[in-house]
Structure 1
Amino acid sequence: MNLQRKVALVTGSSQGIGQAIAAYLAQAGADIVIDYRSHPDGAKETLAKVEAAGRKGHIVQADLSVISDVRKLVSEGIHHFGKLDILVNNAGVDGKNADFWNITEADYDTVVNLNLKGTFFTTQAFVQHLIETKRTGKIINISSVHEEMAFPHFTSYCASKGGVKMMMRNLAVELGPMGITINNIAPGAIETPINTKLLNDPVKLHSLKQNIPLGRLGKPEDIAPMVTFLASSAADYVTGATFYVDGGLIRNYHEQ
């Protein structure tokens, strides 16, 4: 896939899946706007990977649960590179493992304000830019198998990802006439810093692997190629879809 002369904004790209996506898009030829909230050293690592691929990167600090930060992120990316062509909504949080009846308003807001509201308004700012410049573009949301699959004790997270699923479907219809595509990628269990506790628990890790037909957790590098495909001209006729990258987890999952 050739992304030469394209500019991609990848939210939450200082580590994990976001960092892998930024590096892979750069290898395909795109310049990258690197977003981070609280991990500046990781953002610098991402920049180094982008530059090692021969592309340009620009780092912006933004908390995407804050709308003023969302607008700053998009406007700084446009100002630096002159345009944006691709948006990857990757930033997210899984929230607290807790019974539904014990979730507080603060717990709920932490998850939904980033995963759903942040994705909504980052997408809006990106679309406004495309409309103003009369161009087409690509939007790829990093959702989760839990936009479809139940995840007891993480109800706020499932609600946020379910919201992203319906937002994507609706916008595929609304934005399609403008040549703007939008799709979701739904990772399963991936080896990232967010899963450090799981990775260090042999019993829970073994139990989870038994639910995955391919017998292993995914890696961030398993997600990035699908993003690159959806960002490329090869996917010009693909919109309104969710692509599960989960080793078969969603077809075989059951509570232990």
Structure 2
Amino acid sequence: MTAIGPGAIARSRAFADVYAPPVREPWLGPASHGVAPMSGAVRVALVTHDHALVARIASTCTAAGAELTRPDTLDVRSQLGGGAEPFDVVVVDYQSTPDVSRRIRLLRARWPMCGIIVLNVGGVRECASLLDEGADDACTRSSHLVVERLHALMRRARTLNAGFRSAIGDVVMDREHRRVWCAAHEVPLSGREFDVLLCLFDHAPRVVAKTTLAAIVWRGDSAPHGNTVEVYVGYVRRKLAASRLVGIRTVRGVGYALTPR
């Protein structure tokens, strides 16, 4: 058993202030301790060629602290990406999207958790058909509740995200979608880098031995050679350099730990 000196105890207490699990209210979005509001913000995609609609949705997203992206088309494989769900809410302009029913079906099949709302629909029958195809909401051109309905979908997304995301200091991790934010900015991580951080995240503030990291991160693969573990820890450490609250500490001869700065 390793002895723990007064300095280590003081550091552990300091870390507890950063690491203590916060009270998480679904409507407030991801849990945070010193995390800027944009960390893990709701991600909204808007597919339209209507400039007035763009301005309206952009204003709504800004007021709600959401991130707005405008893909050119409703193409799941190219414009909207593949793999993990890249957006929490997709807003589709019926008038700007050809073959919208088929595209909604593809979108729903690929990303079952994504909220989908279709605007500027021709009539009530078309709205009903789109709901049957997989849309969560559909509004006719005469609807006066577009903003309110979009807010409702964003609230739903925040509730779902709150269950997937956790924070240590100003580092936020979304395990479900394998995404990480540091100091309010998303950090691109490779699959291996994410697994390294996840292991340190789950064990914080304890030290993780290099052999443990190797076994967990490279599970099922051939054991890492030479200084491979050190190299990947270095990659992750550099990508978290913007954090003012936490960092990766090297314990010589033992391993690594996610600790307060």
- TM-score, normalization by structure 2: 0.37
Q: Which has the higher helix share?
A: 1
Q: Which has the higher strand share?
A: 2
